[in-house]
Structure 1
Amino acid sequence: MGAFSFKALDGKGNNKSGVLEADNARQVRQQLREQGLIPLEVEQVAERDKRPSSGFNLFRPKISSSELALLTRQMATLVESALPIEEALLAVAEQCEKARLKNMMMAVRSKVVEGHSLADAMAEFPTIFDNLYRAMVAAGEKSGHLDTVLNRLADYTEKRDQTRSQIIQALIYPSLMLTIAMLVVIALLTQVVPKIVGQFDTMGQDLPMITKVMIAISDWLRDYVLFLFAAIVLLIIVIQRLLQHPALRLKYHRLLLRLPLIGKVSRGLNTARFARTLSILTSSAVPLLESMRIAGGVLENLHIKNALADAAERVKEGSSLRAALEKTKMFPPMMMHMIASGERSGELQQMLGRAADNQDREFEALINVSLKVFEPLLIVGMAGIVMFIVMAILQPILALNQMVNI
């Protein structure tokens, strides 16, 4: 039995949509006809979700981290109340307001009713329930502590969403300031400066070099500003396409790690995510090697991901976790000492969690310092540009005044 989403017409010609459970699409159409509906479209939910898409997925509906955290928390609460898993999934599906989420949960429930495990049922939606999520659910099912694991997953998802929000909020203000500054400068050079400089042409005097440079920049912007914006958009699209190739993406990620400030932020985010993910997996009774493989897979930086794959091989050969991670040269010394202490005391998962918390605090401090440094630099840069424009305009006027006084 599977979950099928449908679109149909009632006797008055109104559109109806929803989800029905059946063995095949034919049974769904029969159920709709028995209800007096005319079926227009019937499609199995899991098959539709796994269908490959072409082009950009900008407008494709996706589940957000906050929505996933809420679904996970609801499942944990219901399972903790000793409700059977299929009933818990049905209750969560009925609670969903969005049709996509409801269809997904009904499809997962259908798989569970057929006899599949919850982790296997979630594998029908790999873009929503990633390897980390499914591995933890599988471990929770085997250990009989699914409610505890789901609560940990909800906490982890909320923490990841909070970190992402911090990054976005940190980038919004400087990006907005930089954009406004660029627009103001372009407006000055393309609209205001030509009207003022036009007065100099009637004087017939030789203009200073700084004024000639400003006029040349102004003329170029007026003629090619649209081409400039088009070139920037095209460059972004080309870079995105090139980064789809693994070899080029690996070189790009290596370059990011070498940059003075961006490299430190990227390394800190990835190592903190690895430590937190490894802590959650090991505390959920997932074997260490499997935990390292999954934790490395959730990282965004391909170079760090490859380095951690090599570290997992060294652990497999008998190396300690601290020694294997130390050879990657990606983790700070404080984290290495905390991991070594956790291995000696048998409290590795707790020490990994503390190490991740420490990295998060360092990241927040680094973002705050960066913003405090960026703001005065932007102001100084804008002041320099405005000073250049003012001097380019004032010098011919001052020269003319000197000629009149003579």
Structure 2
Amino acid sequence: MRFGYSGRDAAGQTVSGQMVAGDQAEAQRALEQSGLSAVAVAAAADGPLGHMEWLRARMRRGVGQRRLLEFSEQLDTLLSAGLPLDRALHVALNTTEHAQTRAIIQGLIVEVEKGESLATAFARHPAMFPRLYVSMIRAAEEGGLLPVVLKRLIRYYEQSIEFRSFLVASSVYPAVLLVFSVVAVLVLALFVMPRFAEMFADINQPIPLPAQILLAGAGALERWWGVLLALAILCALAVRLYLGTASGREAWHKRVFRLPLLGPLLFRAQLARICRTMGTLLASGVPILTAMRAVQALSDNSLLLQAIDRLQRAVKEGKGLAHPLLADPLFPRMMGQLVAIGEESGALDGMLIKIADRYEAEVRRATRTLMTVLEPALIIVMGSSIGLIVVSMLYAIFSINEIPL
């Protein structure tokens, strides 16, 4: 069969194409052996129809962490109640309303009833089950620890979703303030100030300089808003095209972690996610090299992916994880020292999870501090901008009233 695929290489660059394989699982294994992290794999017919089918598969590929968490909790509850796996999957199918999740569970039932392992069945559906999930389930089946590993996966996704929700919620209020201030200034400039301009033109009297500057700016915006909008769209497209190239993406990824205030915050959030994932995988019996390949799918930052690739090569050479971490300037020295302690004590998995807890706590504190400063700053800027416009217009009106008739 012919399969269309999309994946990311070690540098984080998206690679798409088609291949011939016996089934979807074989196609995904071939991708992994070639060093690609599969994003989507779907059967594709020949010709334009097959290409459109592949595009639709890419558009609907993501099920989302919340639905994966719901499925994991449901499966854990049913298996803990003593139901066999096939019966548990049937119950999960009957109680799931989401159409794409139902279709995936139906596929799981067919594959499990054919005698395939649960991990192999999961691997056929990368749209729902990422590599780290499949790796942990495979290790659990080999060690007879499926209930334990399911609970670890549930805890992992609960913490990941909660941490991401915290970051999103922290950014909502400043974003709303920023959008409101921009809209308010545009409304004043495009609809209110032109009326003042007409009024001052009818009076034919000189007006104060601040009002002249504001009215000139509003007039230019009213006349040229279409051109300015087109330029903004062209600039956005140019930036997007540049970031779509390997050199542009690498240049941006090198700078993003150096941004004032935000750079260290983003870097620690990425490290926390990588450490928690690796710790969870190692605690479930996944080999360290397999775990490192799995965490490469967590980030699209080429700088970080290249660093993980360097660590992976060092581990293959038998150098351990702590030594290359300490030697790599990208990673904090404290992280390397804690990993060294974890390796010496034989508790690397627990130490990685503790490192993730520490970085997440740092990100939370820094985010709260940043929002504490940013929110009043945005309010002051918004109030000052609108106040400047209003005061300038009122001053112009009062100055006209003072002109002798």
- TM-score class, shorter-chain normalisation, is 0.7 to 0.9
Tell me the amino acid that sits aligned with residue 125 of structure 1: H
Moved more, 146-155 or 233-242: 233-242
User: How far 1:147 sits from its partner (Å)?
Assistant: 1.4
**Does residue 297 of structure 1 match 2:301?**
no
Separation in structure 2 between the aligned mates of residue 316 and residue 184 of structure 1, nearest angstrom = 58
Specify whether residues 164 and 235 from structure 1 end up closer, same or farther in structure 2 by C-alpha distance, changes over 3 A only. Answer: farther
Q: Which amino acid aligns with 1:53?
A: L
Aligned-partner SS, 1:352: helix
1:90 is aligned to 90
Greater relative contact order, per chain length (Cα 8 Å cut-off, separation 6+): 2
What TM-score, normalized to structure 1? 0.80
2:201 partner amino acid: D
Maintained 8 Å contact 1:312/1:324: no
CA spacing shift, 1:77–1:47, aligned 2, 3 Å: farther
C-alpha distance in 1, partners of 2:231/2:58? Answer: 19
Amino acid aligned to 2:109: R
Give the aligned partner of residue 276 of structure 2: 276
1:279-334 alpha-carbon deviations (Å, 9 max, x no partner): 01111111112212212332232211111111111122232312212333343343
SS in structure 2 opposite 1:318? coil
| 1:348 partnered with 2:348 | yes
1:268–1:363: 8 Å Cα contact kept in structure 2? yes
Distance in 1 separating the partners of 2:156 and 2:88: 21
Partner of residue 334, structure 1: 334
SS at match of 1:202: helix
Cα distance in structure 1, aligned partners of 2:188 and 2:74? 55
Provide Cα deviations, 1:156-210, integer angstroms capped at 9, x if missing partner: 1222111221122112111111111111111112222222232222333344432
Where do residues 116-131 of structure 1 align in structure 2 (5 Å cutoff)?
A: 116-131=116-131
Q: Is the 8 A contact 2:61 2:127 kept in 1?
A: no
- CA 121–243 in structure 1, closer or farther in 2 if over 3 Å, else same: farther
1:52 aligns with 2:54: yes
- The DSSP-based 3-state class of the residue aligned with 2:203 is coil
1:73-112 equivalences under 5 Å are: 73-112=73-112
Structure 2 counterpart SS, 1:97: coil
CA deviation profile, 1:119-167 (whole Å, cap 9, x unmatched): 1211221121111111111111111111111111121122211122112
Shift of 1:96: 1.2
The 1:128–1:239 alpha-carbon spacing in structure 2 relative to 1, beyond 3 Å, is farther
SS of 2:257's partner is: helix
Q: Is the 8 A contact 2:281 2:291 kept in 1?
A: yes
Residue equivalent to 1:366: 366
Q: How does 1:180-219 map to 2 (within 5 A)?
A: 180-219=180-219
Q: Percent identity?
A: 29
Structure 2 unaligned runs (5+)? 1-40, 45-50
Give the deviation of 1:79 after TM superposition.
Answer: 3.1
Partner amino acid for 1:347? Answer: A
2:66–2:161 Cα contact (<8 Å) kept: yes
Check whether the contact 1:270–1:300 (CA below 8 A) recurs between aligned residues. no
- Residue 381 of structure 1: aligned partner: 381
Cα RMSD for the two superposed structures: 2.8
- In the alignment, is residue 174 of structure 1 matched against residue 174 of structure 2? yes
Q: Quick one: which amino acid aligns to residue 139 of structure 1?
A: A
Aligned counterpart, 2:145: 145
Pair 237,97 (structure 1): closer, same or farther in 2 beyond 3 Å: farther
Q: Which residue of 2 aligns with 1:286?
A: 286
2:221: which partner in 1?
Answer: 221
Q: Is the 8 A contact 1:311 1:325 kept in 2?
A: yes
Q: Which moved more, 1:111-120 or 1:124-133?
A: 111-120
Q: 1:253 and 2:253 equivalent?
A: yes
Whole-Å separation in 1 of the counterparts to 2:229 and 2:162? 33
Bigger drift between 351-360 and 62-71 goes to 62-71
Going from structure 1 to structure 2, the CA distance change for 1:188 and 1:162 (only over 3 Å counts) comes to same
The one-letter code matched in structure 1 to 2:54 is P
